Amino acid sequence: AQLHLGQLPQARASLERLLSQNPAHFDAHYLLATVLGQQGEMEAALRAFDQALALRDNHPLAHGNRAALLLHLGRHAEALQAYDQAIALKPDFAAAHFRRGVVLQALGQ
C-alpha cells in the first residue's frame, strides 16, 4: 500500500525489513527493485531485480523491468538479452517487443 501511495521511503523500509526476515521472498525483491528505481538508485535496483530473478527466473515482467533499467543505464546489449528472455517467457509481451526495437535502434541494428 505504501508503494501505491507514493510513500517510497516507508515502502523501502518495510520491504527491507521483510527481506531481513525472509531473504527468499521474490515479491519483496521485485517490489524493492521498483522502489529503488523510482528513488533513482539504479544499480541497487538492478541488484534487487537480479536477486528476484535468482529466485524465480520465469517471471517475464521482472525480466522486462530489468531490461528497461538496463536500457536506462545505457547497457544496451544486456537490455536486449533481458528483453529476449521476457519475450521467450511471454511471446505476446507487446511492451517488451516495442522496447526491444528501441534497443536495436540504439545499437544501430
Q: How many CB atoms lie within 10 A of CB 91?
A: 10
Q: Are residues 52 and 69 in the same domain?
A: no
Q: Are residues 43 and 67 in the same domain?
A: no
Given a contact cutoff of 8 angstroms between Cβ atoms, the answer to whether 22 and 52 are in contact is no
Q: Are residues 69 and 91 in the same domain?
A: yes
pTM of the model: 0.89
Cell numbers for 95: 511492451
Q: Are residues 81 and 100 in the same domain?
A: yes
Q: Are residues 1 and 52 in the same domain?
A: yes
CATH code for the domain in which residue 93 is found: 1.25.40.10
State the residue range of the domain holding 72.
60-109
Number of domains in the chain: 2
pLDDT, tens only, 22-54: 999 999 999 999 999 999 999 999 999 999 999
